[in-house]
Chain A
Amino acid sequence: MIRFENIIKRFRRHEVLKGINLEIDRGHRLALIGSNGAGKTTLIRCLLGEYLCEGKVSIDGLSPREHRRKVLSKVGFVPQLPPPLKMPVGQLIRFAASVCDSDPMEMIRVAHRLGLDAEEFHRQPFVKLSGGQKQKLLIAIALGRASELLVMDEPAANLDPQARQIFFELLAEKKDSAAMIISSHRLDEVATLVNRVVEMDQGKVVLDDQVEDLVDLNSRLRCTIGLLRPDEAFARAIRNWHFVTHDDGMTWTGPVAGPDRLRFLGMLSRYVGLLARLRMDDARETRKVAEVVNG
């Protein structure tokens, strides 16, 4: 579907991309990782036809620069930093839907699933939304249309756990029909979302590897945490994950999205001295067992 053939990009004398060769097919969910200045954003901009470069970039055999409208109508893009658009939310949705020949209601529906009532904010300037709301709206615009390639730069960074779970579900719905490129500084942020990892360093691909694709994007874990003693800082952190306690903070229970497990464990590792026990069960397996027991 996507081919990068010997892509070189220079800014004056500085070579930012040094001969990138990559092929990405439908069904590939690719993590594009690397430190700042590795060339991830430049590569994405070449892919979107926004940068001119040496070599050849093609999506389904078409150049994104020469066949902009045809190519970009298949691409949903979520930038890392939301643009400071002053136009109202409703206007942005109408504009995006109109140029993409899509139904604005579908974008509004996706935003609603992510927890953003776009109709409530339709008169509010986009730039005045919170970081999370902006991210949700940009994701809704990208996923609320018939895109065959999703290009996302740190898409879930500003989302709360609940919205992340919905976001993973939305990706799961697209995973067989679309290719995905998810750019991030850190692999652990996106590892469970992808089935392929490409690492860039100083304008080159230094790692291109398949990863085990065992985590179901739709999966949900039922989690129970026992503490040695109640702790205020831990309580604040775990409440952000929508966990609840019924014994004054000694035991906490709540759901964790399957693809978020690594991030969740990363958060727990900060309080490892407080942990007495930890149990994580696949919610669907637990439900199946309960159904069998209850006949």
Chain B
Amino acid sequence: MKHLWLTAYTDIIESLRAKWFFVYSLVFGGLVVLLFAFGVTESRIMGFTGLSRLMVTYIQLAMAILPVFVLITTVRSVAGDREAGVFEYLLSLPIGLGAWYWGKLLGRFLVVFLPVFGAMAVAVIWGVSKGAEVPWQLFIYYTGLLMALAWCFLGIGMLLSSMTRSADVAQGAAFVIWLTVLLFLDLILLGVMLREQFAGEAVVAIALANPMQVFRTATMMLFDQQLVLLGPTAYVILDHFGQAGYMAYAMLYPVTLGSLCAGVGYWWFKRGDLP
């Protein structure tokens, strides 16, 4: 365990000094500032105003930005480290491969999650200082969803980093994966599939398998409990899961998928050449 925490700590220190982390933190911090600046807290949508309104908007934006950031930065830095000879040196030290891999994953998780959470937490603190009411249920569930989403794409990123030998290939693959999950959102290809009368079961299965769609539906569910925005598909979700069931699924599925990908990535990493 000592080596695992050491690796995690080392990865955090490395990341904090990297330019990507600076840009990453700036984007999420900047988002919150912009949302306040543009008066989102004063506007109203479906009965939501104040901090709730801000969080709903923030979480929708985070859904678009977080996966691509996590994927690209993870594969870029992990596969990049391998290419640059960092693995050759650090893995010549007597450190277990499991401690190295999972420590790196853990460190990176904290690094990608904390700025996203931090920005949201700062918004809440600011709101409280201005006397706004804090929607704690929304805040806690969104925090959990963000953790699950970050973990999911981190796992996919680690898998890609283990499978590819160059940072460029890894980055290309990461981009294709992000584009695929983005395309299969209800707003884009899923909508087209429904219009073209594809088998309903297949469309719903794709929607339930796509972590971004799962996240999107779950975030909607808190302010649109009947999922009116989704249309008839909502019946399938609500009939099969119920509201609480789907909210639990939206947390557990991305975590499971991310862990599975990370596990396969570890197996791949262990059975091949390290540098």
Contact = CB atoms under 8 A, between A and B. Distances in A.
Contacts of B86: 83-85
A69 interface: yes
A50 B92 contact: yes
B274 A50 contact: yes
Interface residues of B, number: 27
Interface in A59-102: 68-73, 75, 77, 79, 81-88, 91, 95-96, 98-100
B96 A79 contact: no
B90 to A, nearest CB: 7
B183 interface: no
B88 A83 contact: yes
B94 A81 contact: no
Contacts of B93: 72, 96, 99-100
Contacts of A138: 89
A52 B272 contact: yes
B13 A87 contact: yes
Interface in B108-122: none
Contact of A51 (B13, B90, B273): B273
A98 B85 CA distance: 21
Interface in B1-20: 2-3, 6, 10, 13-14, 17-18
Contacts of B94: 68-73, 75, 99-100
Contacts of B89: 77, 79, 82-83, 85, 138
A249 interface: no
Contacts of B10: 87, 91, 95
A125 B17 contact: yes
A30 interface: no
Contact of A87 (B17, B84, B85, B273): B17
For this complex, into which size category does the number of interface residues on chain A fall?
A: 20 to 34
Contacts of A170: none
A48 interface: yes
Interface string B105-147: 0000000000000000000000000000000000000000000
A287 interface: no
Interface string B76-92: 00000000111111111
Contacts of A77: 89, 92
29 contacts: A45-B88, A50-B87, A50-B91, A50-B274, A51-B275, A52-B272, A68-B96, A68-B97, A69-B94, A71-B94, A72-B92, A72-B94, A72-B95, A77-B92, A79-B85, A79-B88, A83-B84, A83-B85, A83-B90, A84-B86, A86-B18, A87-B13, A87-B17, A95-B6, A95-B10, A96-B93, A98-B2, A99-B93, A138-B89
Sorted nearest first, the 6 A-B pairs with minimum C-beta distance are A72-B94, A77-B92, A73-B94, A86-B17, A83-B89, A83-B86
Interface of A: 45, 48-52, 68-73, 75, 77, 79, 81-88, 91, 95-96, 98-100, 125, 138, 151
Interface of B: 2-3, 6, 10, 13-14, 17-18, 84-97, 271-275
Given A50-B275, A99-B3, 8 more contacts: A51-B274, A52-B273, A75-B92, A79-B89, A84-B84, A85-B14, A86-B13, A86-B18
